[in-house]
Amino acid sequence: MRVPDDLERVLISGEQLQARVAELAAELEAAYSEGDRPLLVCVLKGAFVFLADLVRHIEMPHEVDFMEVASYGSGTASSGVVRILLDLERNIQGRHVVIVEDIVDSGRTLTYIVRNLRTRGPASLRVCALLTKPARRECELDVDFVGFEIPDEFVVGYGLDYAQAYRNLPFIGVLKREAYSPSP
Amino acid sequence: MTADKVLPPEIEKVLLDEKTIEGRVTELAAQIDEDYAGLGSLVLVGVLKGAFVFLADLARRLRVPHQIDFIALSSYNRGSISSGEVRLIMDTRVNLTGRHVLVVEDIVDTGHTLDYLLRSFGARLPASVRSCVLLSKPDLREVDVAIDYVGFEIPDVWVVGYGLDYAERFRTLPYVAALKRDALEDGQRSEPDACA
């Protein structure tokens, strides 16, 4: 696929993504036993592309569920507390849960989601993130399964958007600075 | 890929393998690219849970600029949807007024859910509303509903995989398969979108 003009470069190619996603599926399968039937919880919207590829590689019995959250607006970002727009369909009490995220940067929202889900008494709760930006982390947070550690750059594609665009690129690209900050 | 894998014992046979699905999704994307070229403001609305795999593959093959959104539905009655019983659990995030809306569904059988969605979205004064469905079971249709893009017409067998489940099982198989009759006992397909 053609690289859009607003991208500076491709950070992770489609082939690299596919290979790593297959490895992550194997890592997940190794972490659970057959009867565990882990529930993979996708945080919309960004993670749905990653989830769609990841689960097709997992042969062990498992289920998927979805959550969508939104910020309350100005002044509340630092707490990480978000409004749940779509809650899980499944009751997770006693279940093995894996939160599937596209990217973890500050980790604030994810820390809140972990806290929220823990109150429901899951048997275990782990996090699987395609991308993580360790330089941006503000919360102490264990990401149990990591696809790629990346530098602090504005990335798009494979589910990640900028103003709702670029989500459908089959690779991860770095957005040009002038594409998201007005020129001086 | 499918051939190397051992099928789960509940599976009767593979109806559509990965290559076949991939080829057809690519064709659908090309058709959508052509039809929406230059129109702008296209939004794809995926119906959870079943459509997420199809949507992920379809969107990656589209070149026409678009946004992606999701809705979640439920039924007022437990079990299957007959008519007018659809309950919106999560609405779209974007305002559809003035937008070209393409509803993305995994399967249409009776057509009630899709009919509801097309009417509901049509009421929001969009520029246009169309539907793109991976699988259609025309034999089961109860409502005359317009499907603009169809992946495959299939007979009335219980299908799973590529987003479609049976009691939350088999949803993530990379192919579409028919379930054995004796595997269909006390359960129901868990999602109203899959009963559509």
Q: What is the pLDDT of residues A73-107, one digit of tens each?
A: 765 567 888 899 999 999 999 999 999 999 999 99
Q: Is the pLDDT of residue B187 over 60?
A: no
| A141 vs A73, higher pLDDT | A141
3-state secondary structure at position A32: coil
Of all residues in chain B, what percent are helix, strand and coil, respectively (each to 5)? Answer: 25, 30, 40
Are residues A127 and A98 in contact, defined by beta-carbon separation less than 8 angstroms? yes
A86 interfacial to chain B (CB closer than 8 Å): yes
Distance from the Cα of B96 to chain A's closest Cα (Å) equals 14
Distance from the Cα of B90 to chain A's closest Cα (Å) equals 6
Mean pLDDT, to the nearest integer, of A145-162? 96
CA atoms within 13 A on the CB side of B130: 15
Q: What is the pLDDT of chain A when averaged over all its residues?
A: 93
Helices and strands counted in chain B (H then E): 3, 9
Q: Is the pLDDT of residue B184 over 90?
A: no
Q: Which residue matches tokens 């999704």?
A: B25
Instruction: Find residue B16's DSSP bridge partners.
Output: B176
Strands A39-44 and A82-86: unpaired
pLDDT given for residue B86 in this prediction = 86
Q: Is the pLDDT of residue B122 over 50?
A: yes
Which candidate in A6, A102, A105, A142 is catalytic? A105
Q: Is the pLDDT of residue A13 over 70?
A: yes
Are residues A10 and A172 in contact, defined by beta-carbon separation less than 8 angstroms? yes
The number of residues making up chain A comes to 184
State how far the Cα of B118 lies from the Cα of B145, in Å rounded to an integer: 9
Q: Is the Cβ pair B60, A45 closer than 8 Å?
A: no
Q: Is the Cβ pair B5, A59 closer than 8 Å?
A: yes
Per-residue CA distances from A46 to A58, A69, A104, B31, B195 (Å)? 20, 11, 11, 25, 26
Among residues B12, B67, B71, which one has the least CA distance to residue B40? B67
Q: Is the Cβ pair A63, B168 closer than 8 Å?
A: yes
Q: What is the pLDDT of residues B123-132, one digit of tens each?
A: 999 999 999 9
Shortest CB distance from A164 goes to which of B5, B46, B67? Answer: B67
ipTM of the complex: 0.93
pLDDT given for residue A33 in this prediction = 94
Going through B37-193 in order, the beta strands assigned E by DSSP cover 42-48, 66-75, 86-90, 100-108, 128-136, 149-153, 159-160, 176-179
Preceding amide of B19 cis, omega within 30: no
pLDDT given for residue B82 in this prediction = 58
Q: What is the pLDDT of residues B154-178, one digit of tens each?
A: 999 999 999 999 999 999 999 999 9
A105 is catalytic: yes
Distance from the Cα of A170 to chain B's closest Cα (Å) equals 6
pLDDT given for residue B195 in this prediction = 37
Per-residue CA distances from A110 to A160, B5, B27 (Å)? 16, 35, 38
Q: Is the pLDDT of residue B4 over 60?
A: no
pLDDT given for residue B53 in this prediction = 98
Interacting residues of A120 by C-beta distance below 8 A, sequence separation 6+ = A91, A92, A93
Q: What is the pLDDT of chain B when averaged over all its residues?
A: 89
Q: Residue B128 corresponds to which tokens in the numbers above? A: 């246009």
Residue type, A34: E
pLDDT given for residue B192 in this prediction = 46
Distance from the Cα of A140 to chain B's closest Cα (Å) equals 31
pLDDT given for residue A72 in this prediction = 82
Residue type, A82: V
Mean pLDDT, to the nearest integer, of A28-43? 96
pLDDT given for residue A78 in this prediction = 73
State how far the Cα of A73 lies from the Cα of B17, in Å rounded to an integer: 45
Mean pLDDT, to the nearest integer, of B170-189? 82
Annotated active-site positions of B, please?
A: 109
Q: Is the Cβ pair A52, B171 closer than 8 Å?
A: no
A3 interfacial to chain B (CB closer than 8 Å): no
Q: What percent of chain A has pLDDT over 90?
A: 83
Which of the residues A168, A169, A172 would you substitute to probe the B interface, choosing the one with the greatest number of B C-beta atoms within 10 Å? Answer: A168
H helices present in B37-164, as ranges: 52-61, 112-122
CA atoms within 13 A on the CB side of B133: 26
Q: Is the pLDDT of residue B2 over 70?
A: no
Shortest CB distance from B172 goes to which of A45, A55, A70? Answer: A55
Q: Phi/psi zone of residue B173: left (φ > 0), alpha (ψ -120 to 50 degrees), beta?
A: beta
3-state secondary structure at position B18: helix
Q: What is the pLDDT of residues B45-82, one digit of tens each?
A: 999 999 999 999 999 999 999 999 999 998 776 555 55
Domain boundaries, chain A: 7-180
Shortest CB distance from B52 goes to which of A51, A70, A86? Answer: A51
Which of the residues A6, A50, A56 would you substitute to probe the B interface, choosing the one with the greatest number of B C-beta atoms within 10 Å? Answer: A56
Q: Would you state the CATH architecture of domain A7-180?
A: 3-Layer(aba) Sandwich (3.40)
Among residues B153, B145, B52, which one has the least CA distance to residue B104? B52
pLDDT given for residue A179 in this prediction = 85
